[in-house]
C-alpha cells in the first residue's frame, strides 16, 4: 500500500514568524549573515562560507559572468548555468575569476587598424569611456595604447580615421607591472593624477586596469566573497551526462564549487556523478547535489558524498513539474523535514551538510522563513533574473521595462539533460515556462533592501545570526482569513505616485 503523509505539504505563505525578545543590541546593522556553503566536520570551519545566505540559480536567464561578479561583490555566489557548451561555460567562469578586487579585465578592446567609428560603436555597446588598444584587439593582447575621450573630437575627425593615428601610445602612458598590489596601484593613480592605470605583464600584455572611480566603490562592497588570491568566488552547474569532460574544464578555469543541476536528486545518476568526482579529485573539489524533499533523499545524497544539498521540487515560479507530473512537495514542509534530517545526520556522523532552499521564494520575508525553518542559504532564480546583471534581454511591455525569464525545463532552454531519465529524446515534455519579470535595475541597488528586511525580521525574533534565528524562531501556521487580515483591507487605497526629480 502507498505511504500517506499525515500532514499536508505547506508553502511559505502558510507560515508567520512570532516575535521574540529584542535586546538593545538587536539592530539590523549588528546582524551577521555568514553561513556555511559546504560541509564540515564538528569543530572545524567550512572551506567556503557565504557572507550572505543567497546564491543565484543555475539558469540561462539568471547566472552569467556579470551576475557572477555582481553577486560575489555582495557576498553571495552565482552558479554559472551549464546548459551551454563546455567551452562557453568555462569561459564564463574564467571571466569571473579574472576579476580581482580592484583589478578589472578590459572588455573594451580594439586593434590599431580599427577606426574611430569602431571605437564609438564599442563605447555605445559597453558604456565605457576608455578603450584599450592591443596588437590583436583582444583583452590579453600586447598593450600598445589607449583611447580616451580626450584623444578625438567627432566633429573634427573622419569616422574612418585609424586608431593608431589618434590613440595615446604606450610610451606616453603611465602603467604598473603585474604583481602590483591594489594599494600600490591606487597610490600611483593619486600621485600622478590619473583616472586609469593599465596593468601589464613582462611581455607587455594587458592584464587589466585599476580605475580611480573604483577606489570609493570598493568601500561599497565590504562583504565581497573572494578567494586567497583576491579573486571573486564563483560556482558552476554540471549535469550527470558529460561530467567527465565538463568538470576538468571548469576546474581549469578556476571554478570554486560545482553543483549538479537536476530536477530530482534521489537517483542513481547523481550518486554515480558525485562518487566519480570524489574518487578522482578527492575532497578538494566541492560539489552540491539535489533536489530532494525528504529525509530519504537527503540521506542518500549525504552518504554519496554531497557537500551541500538542495531542497525543493516544483516550487519555482517558472516550474510546472507538479502540474505536468504530479510530483513534488510544498517548499516549507520540505525544508522543515530535510533540516531535521540534516541535524540528525550531524549528531550521528559529526558532519554538518548545509541545505539550500531552492524555489518557492515569492516575497522577501520568505527568505527569512526558509532560514528560520533550517535552510542554510537560498537559491533564487526569479529574484535575480530581474536585475540588469542577468543574461536575459530587457524589453518594453505595455510601457514597462521587463526582463525575459524562462525555465530550464522550457523548450527555449532545451536543457533536457536536467530532466533526462534515459529514453527517447523526442518524448521529452516541458517542465518550465517562458515568461517576463519586472525589471529591477542594478543588483547593488536592489539587494541591500532585501537583506535589510531579512535582518530586521531576524531582530524581531531576537536573533543576531542565522544559527540564533534557527534556535529562537517561533513559527505559526496561518489560516486563509488571517492572510487577508495581514494585508491592507477595509480601506480605499490611494494611488501610489513616484517623484522622479
d(CA 413, CA 195): 42
d(CA 392, CA 57): 14
CA distances in angstroms from 375 to 287, 312, 359, 478, listed in the order given: 17, 11, 12, 21
DSSP β-ladder status, 54-56 and 377-380: parallel
* Closest of 404, 55, 383, 390 to residue 236, by C-alpha: 55
- State the DSSP code for 327: -
Catalytic one of 231, 342, 386, 418: 418
d(CA 199, CA 211): 11
Dihedral, 299, 301, 303, 309 alpha carbons, nearest 10: -80
**Cis peptide leading into residue 291 (ω within 30°):** yes
Catalytic one of 319, 356, 378, 459: 319
Measured in whole angstroms, the distance separating CA 345 from the mean position of its chain's CA atoms is: 28
E strands, 31-173, are 35-36, 40-41, 49-50, 54-56, 77-80, 109-110, 131-134, 143-147, 168-169
Retrieve residue 272's grid coordinates: 554515480
Retrieve residue 195's grid coordinates: 583616472
For residue 371, give the H/E element and its range: helix 364-372
Please indicate whether residue 319 is annotated as part of the active site: yes
Q: Are 472 and 465 in contact (CB under 8 A)?
A: no
d(CA 88, CA 90): 6
DSSP state letters, 383-441: HHHTSTTSSSPEEEETTEEEEEEE-TTSTTT--GGGT--SS-GGG----B-EEEEE---
DSSP β-ladder status, 377-380 and 355-358: parallel
d(CA 272, CA 303): 12
The catalytic residues are: 319, 418
Amino acid at each position: 500500500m502507498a505511504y500517506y503523509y499525515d500532514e499536508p505539504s505547506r508553502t511559505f505563505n502558510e507560515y508567520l514568524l512570532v516575535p521574540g525578545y529584542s535586546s538593545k543590541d538587536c539592530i539590523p546593522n549588528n546582524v551577521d549573515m555568514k553561513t556555511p556553503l559546504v560541509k564540515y566536520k564538528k569543530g572545524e570551519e567550512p572551506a567556503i562560507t557565504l557572507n550572505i545566505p543567497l546564491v543565484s540559480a543555475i539558469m540561462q536567464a539568471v547566472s552569467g559572468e556579470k551576475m557572477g561578479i555582481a553577486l560575489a561583490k555582495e557576498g553571495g555566489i552565482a552558479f554559472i548555468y551549464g546548459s551551454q557548451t563546455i567551452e562557453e561555460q568555462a569561459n564564463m567562469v574564467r571571466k569571473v575569476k579574472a576579476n580581482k578586487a580592484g583589478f578589472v579585465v578590459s572588455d573594451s578592446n580594439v586593434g590599431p587598424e580599427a577606426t574611430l567609428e569602431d571605437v564609438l560603436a564599442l563605447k555605445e555597446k559597453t558604456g565605457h569611456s576608455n578603450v584599450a588598444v592591443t596588437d590583436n584587439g583582444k583583452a590579453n593582447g600586447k598593450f600598445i595604447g589607449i583611447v580616451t575621450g580626450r584623444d578625438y573630437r567627432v566633429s573634427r575627425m573622419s569616422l574612418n580615421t585609424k586608431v593608431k593615428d589618434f590613440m595615446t601610445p604606450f610610451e606616453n602612458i603611465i602603467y604598473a607591472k603585474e604583481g602590483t598590489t591594489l594599494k600600490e596601484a591606487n597610490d600611483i593613480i593619486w600621485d600622478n593624477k590619473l583616472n586609469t592605470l593599465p596593468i601589464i605583464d613582462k611581455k607587455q600584455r594587458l592584464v587589466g586596469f585599476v580605475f580611480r572611480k573604483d577606489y570609493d566603490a570598493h568601500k561599497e562592497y565590504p562583504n565581497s566573497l573572494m578567494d586567497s588570491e583576491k579573486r571573486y568566488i564563483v560556482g558552476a552547474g554540471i549535469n550527470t551526462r558529460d561530467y567527465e569532460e565538463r568538470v576538468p574544464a571548469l576546474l581549469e578555469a578556476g571554478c570554486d564549487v560545482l553543483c549538479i543541476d537536476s530536477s530530482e536528486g534521489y537517483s542513481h545518476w547523481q550518486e554515480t556523478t558525485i562518487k566519480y568526482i570524489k574518487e578522482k579529485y578527492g575532497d578538494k573539489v566541492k560539489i552540491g547535489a539535489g533536489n530532494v524533499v525528504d529525509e530519504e533523499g537527503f540521506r542518500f545524497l549525504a552518504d554519496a558524498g554531497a557537500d551541500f544539498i538542495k531542497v525543493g521540487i516544483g516550487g519555482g515560479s517558472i516550474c510546472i513539474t507538479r502540474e505536468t507530473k504530479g510530483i513534488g512537495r510544498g517548499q516549507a514542509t520540505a525544508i522543515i523535514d530535510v533540516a531535521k534530517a540534516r541535524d540528525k545526520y550531524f549528531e550521528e556522523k559529526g558532519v554538518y551538510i548545509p541545505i539550500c532552499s531552492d524555489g518557492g521564494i515569492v516575497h522577501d520575508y520568505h527568505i527569512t522563513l526558509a532560514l528560520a525553518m533550517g535552510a542554510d542559504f537560498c537559491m533564487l532564480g526569479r529574484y535575480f533574473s530581474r536585475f540588469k546583471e542577468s543574461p536575459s534581454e530587457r524589453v518594453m511591455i505595455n510601457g514597462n521595462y521587463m526582463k525575459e525569464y524562462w525555465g530550464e525545463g522550457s523548450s527555449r532552454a532545451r536543457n533536457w539533460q536536467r530532466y533526462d531519465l534515459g529514453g527517447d529524446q523526442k518524448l521529452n515534455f516541458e517542465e518550465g515556462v517562458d515568461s517576463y519579470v519586472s525589471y529591477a535595475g542594478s543588483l547593488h541597488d536592489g539587494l541591500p533592501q532585501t537583506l535589510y528586511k531579512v535582518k530586521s525580521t531576524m531582530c524581531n525574533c531576537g536573533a543576531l545570526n542565522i544559527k540564533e534565528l534557527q534556535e529562537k524562531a517561533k513559527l505559526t501556521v496561518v489560516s486563509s482569513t488571517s492572510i487577508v487580515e495581514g494585508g491592507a483591507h477595509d480601506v480605499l487605497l490611494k494611488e501610489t505616485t513616484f517623484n522622479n526629480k
